[in-house]
């Protein structure tokens, strides 16, 4: 297959050479490069997505050029500042990207027809201080709870909808004694924030109301709704496996996929892992504090794509982005990478059942991104890092209260963030 493509392009090149490059139909295609941190997506792009695009636009060739996730920010920053970098750059959400926009890395996308498929909230993660769009939203991830339906059936449990029911379910599993209630550990602090507090917390701080309140300086992390959220998270502690302090992300997932634990608080990106052993698995959304309360769900904008301001092929790059904004790409991508969700307002069907279940959780829920990544982490100490650290301290030590965590978070934030300084 590949060798055939090589020989076709070789023939095309030779044809161009012999015809003196005049044949318009055989003009050299423009090649544009796309930088991304998703090294694991190489096959998806090369075998599925790019051929679909190139079939429609034979004059443009796109090369997928991923960089190691851990080195992505540094690599992009030094490449662009050195006048290099791909024509298309995958954008981190919020603060990192806002700084990149400020430094002039991106071409503005205003006027790109495909942008209209996305509402303002979806674009927010990648707009500049001038409110203009610089990256096209590509995919978001959700957070929720995977549960082992067979264990639930065996113990006669119902999917919980309120915090009290959630604790009752955990209590019942613990009392039965055969299964670990929560497959959760605190060795990797990021997931205490992303799959724990930022998942169940929005129901307490009312999603965007609380998040934007912190950004405006109208609310503080020491306000009761935030302390209550941290306390609701701390209430998980008695239901974690023994030695949870040392359990990392792989351990937790394994505990769940081996059928030894009933519930796994995790992100949608882990769908393939969670279902890898063929268990009968369902998902439920974060519980609400009281029956009848508004439901909230964490929808985290994960990646966008922008155009390098120094690219020499901006038109080709725009053509590509316009295609990325359309339903064809969206369906290809979310089905090739289950756990990622389209952000476009056009409906998308998910072939993976669990992915569809996750998408259904969005119905009737208010969506909100991770609490601390927008503006609140653009200084030192970043609120997000501090949240990771302090939640880990709370989960590994017995004498740290939710109130203390909130106070220390607030002190750190107020030390540099203008609207919180008073």
List of residues contacting another protein (CB under 8 A): 37, 69-71, 73-74, 77-78, 80-81, 92, 94-96, 99, 102-105, 185-189, 241-248, 251, 255, 309, 373, 377-378, 380-382, 384-385, 388-389, 392-393, 396-397, 412, 415
Cβ burial 334-357 (10 Å sphere, 16+ → b, else e): bbbbbbbbbbbeeeeebebebbeb
| Residues 192, 392 contacting (CB under 8 angstroms) | yes
Q: Name the minimum Å distance from CB 88 to another protein.
A: 18
Q: Name the minimum Å distance from CB 344 to another protein.
A: 23
Alpha carbon of residue 351 to chain centroid:
20
Q: Name the minimum Å distance from CB 37 to another protein.
A: 8
| Closer residue to another protein, CB minimum distance, 39 or 246 | 246
| Closer residue to another protein, CB minimum distance, 201 or 287 | 201
Question: How is 163-195 classified by DSSP, letter by letter?
Answer: HHHHHHHHHHHHHH-SSEEE---SSSTHHHIII
Residue 20 burial (C-beta neighbours within 10 Å; 0-12, 13-18, 19+): exposed
Question: How is 98-117 classified by DSSP, letter by letter?
Answer: HHHHHTT-EE--TT-GGGGG
Q: Name the minimum Å distance from CB 56 to another protein.
A: 32
| Closer residue to another protein, CB minimum distance, 93 or 144 | 93
**Residue 395 in tokens:** 């989960």
| Closer residue to another protein, CB minimum distance, 303 or 334 | 303
| Closer residue to another protein, CB minimum distance, 62 or 261 | 261
Q: Name the minimum Å distance from CB 343 to another protein.
A: 18
DSSP class of 379: S
Query: Which residue in 302, 301, 304 sits closest to 105, CA to CA?
Result: 304
| Closer residue to another protein, CB minimum distance, 263 or 359 | 263
| Residues 275, 354 contacting (CB under 8 angstroms) | yes
The residue length of the chain stands at 422
Q: Name the minimum Å distance from CB 105 to another protein.
A: 7
């Amino acid at each position: 297959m590949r060798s055939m493509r090589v020989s076709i392009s070789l023939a095309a090149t030779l044809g161009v050479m012999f015809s003196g490059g005049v044949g318009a139909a055989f003009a050299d295609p423009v090649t544009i490069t796309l930088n991304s941190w998703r090294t694991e997506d190489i096959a998806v792009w090369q075998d599925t997505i790019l051929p679909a695009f190139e079939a429609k636009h034979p004059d443009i060739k796109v090369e997928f050029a991923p960089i190691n996730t851990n080195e992505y920010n540094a690599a992009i920053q030094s490449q662009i500042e050195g006048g290099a970098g791909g024509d298309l750059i995958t954008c981190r959400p919020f603060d990192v990207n806002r700084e990149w926009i400020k430094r002039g890395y991106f071409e503005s996308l205003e006027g790109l027809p495909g942008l209209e498929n996305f509402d303002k909230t979806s674009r927010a993660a990648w707009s500049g201080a001038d409110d203009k769009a610089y990256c096209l939203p590509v995919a978001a991830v959700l957070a929720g709870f995977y549960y082992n339906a067979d264990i639930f059936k065996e113990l006669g449990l119902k999917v919980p909808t309120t915090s009290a029911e959630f604790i009752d379910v955990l209590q019942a599993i613990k009392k039965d004694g055969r299964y670990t209630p929560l497959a959760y550990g605190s060795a990797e602090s990021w997931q205490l924030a992303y799959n724990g507090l930022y998942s169940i917390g929005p129901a307490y701080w009312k999603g965007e109301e609380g998040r934007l309140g912190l950004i405006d300086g109208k609310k503080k992390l020491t306000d009761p709704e935030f302390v209550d959220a941290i306390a609701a998270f701390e209430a998980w502690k008695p239901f974690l496996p023994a030695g949870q302090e040392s359990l990392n992300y792989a351990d937790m997932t394994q505990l769940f996929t081996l059928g030894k634990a009933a519930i796994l608080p995790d992100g949608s990106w882990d769908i393939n892992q969670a279902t890898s052993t063929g268990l009968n698995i369902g998902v439920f959304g974060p519980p609400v504090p009281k029956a009848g309360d508004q439901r909230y769900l964490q929808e985290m904008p994960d990646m966008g794509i922008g155009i390098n301001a120094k690219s020499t092929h901006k038109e080709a790059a725009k053509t590509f982005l316009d295609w990325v904004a359309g339903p064809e790409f969206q369906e290809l991508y979310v089905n090739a990478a289950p756990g990622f969700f389209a952000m476009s307002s056009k409906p998308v069907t998910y072939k993976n059942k669990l992915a569809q279940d996750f998408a259904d959780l969005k119905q009737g829920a208010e969506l909100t991104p991770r609490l601390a990544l927008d503006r609140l982490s653009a200084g030192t100490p970043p609120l997000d890092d501090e949240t990771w650290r302090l939640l880990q301290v709370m989960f590994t030590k017995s004498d740290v209260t939710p109130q203390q965590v909130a106070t220390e978070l607030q002190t750190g934030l107020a030390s540099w963030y203008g609207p919180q300084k008073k």
